[in-house]
Amino acid sequence: MATTVIQAFNQFLKNTVNLDPEINKNAKISRDWLLLQIGKFKEKDNTFPQLYSDINMHFGSFARRTKIRELDDIDLMIGLSGQGSTYREYSDRIEINVSENAIDLLGLCNANTNILNSRKVINKFVSACANVPQYKKADIKRNQEAVTLQLSSYTWNFDIVPCFMTTENIYGRSYYLIPDGNGNWKKTDSRIDRERTTSINQAHDGNVLQVIRVMKYWNKRKTMPKMSSYLLETMILDYYQNLDSTASQYVDIELPNSLHIFTIIS
């Protein structure tokens, strides 16, 4: 039984806010096994798009270690090889023009064109996942930008996002191209969020992630007017990025300071 405020707060974090260590461990094992199965898709079906595992990426709050209980989703970007394909950017979409040499991608284009249809790419992943024996009873479906894989044995689902990577532009920047939910593609770069979260947390001696998790728990309460989890996380990072002092290791002391983000925007 806790006898001090600090002990009570630490128990609250351990038992209520933070992911259970065993759940966290099992989730990573399940994620890695899924990646292993995806790596075999091409050898099992030669019409499956050629994989480019070098650009695979774990993203989202589970990867950034800001996820709170209960674990509900794990996000994965799965890299595909463009095989010489190019893209054209419009105001409302990006189109990928498939090279004549990319036979497996040509089969996933819009009818009578070489424009790659992102819905067909996602559906290819849906079919491939359904052919994994261990996933036969799983709920597997296309969900806008991703393949959602829900296993009955776990509380969480996997969101699998197929992606390509652009070559570097004149500024040395490259981007991920992911489905836009409408059959085309859009740019994103989750590396920015991951690197920013890591660098700000390190600058504050590793004390920021726990503040983010507590604030997410507070935001999730039914008595609270909710904002998106991602927006809340971004606001907290903005606050600590501009803070002159270093965050305290005691979350119960640091929490009132972090509430300052709401007075800034009020």
User: pTM above the 0.75 mark?
Assistant: yes
pLDDT at 134: 83
How far does CA 84 lie from the centroid of its chain? 27
Per-residue pLDDT for 264 more than 60?
no
DSSP for the chain, written as a single string: ---SHHHHHHHHIIIIIBPPHHHHHHHHHHHHHHHHHHTTHHHH-TTSPPB-GGG-EEEHHHHHT--BSSP-EEEEEEEB--TT-EEEE-SS-EEEE--TT-HHHHTTBSTTS-BB-HHHHHHHHHHHHHTSGGGTTSEEEEETTEEEEE-TTSS-EEEEEEEEEPPP-TTS---EEEE-SSSSEEEE-HHHHHHHHHHHHHHTTT-HHHHHHHHHHHHHSTTSPP--HHHHHHHHHHHHHT-SSPPPS-HHHHHHHHTHHHHHH-
Q: Is 235 exposed, middle or buried (0-12, 13-18, 19+ CB in 10 A)?
A: middle
* pLDDT tens figures, 35-77: 999 999 999 999 999 999 999 999 999 999 999 999 999 999 9
* pLDDT tens figures, 216-236: 998 888 776 678 899 999 999
Which pair of tokens denotes residue 126?
């849906």
How would CATH label the architecture of 19-188?
2-Layer Sandwich (3.30)
* Residue 262 and residue 221 in contact, taking contact as beta carbons nearer than 8 Å: no
Domain boundaries, the chain: 19-188, 194-265
* pLDDT tens figures, 120-159: 999 999 999 998 988 877 888 888 889 999 988 888 999 9
pLDDT at 7: 84
Mean pLDDT on 175-185: 96
How far CA 3 is from CA of 11, 51, 95, 205, 255, in Å, comes to 11, 55, 61, 27, 20
Backbone angles phi, psi at 85, to 5 degrees: -70, 160
In angstroms, rounded to a whole number, what is the distance separating the alpha carbons of residues 203 and 145? 34
Which pair of tokens denotes residue 40?
């075999």
pLDDT at 266: 45
Q: What is the 3-state secondary structure (H, E, C) of 198-241?
A: HHHHHHCCCCHHHHHHHHHHHHHCCCCCCCCHHHHHHHHHHHHH
pLDDT at 222: 76
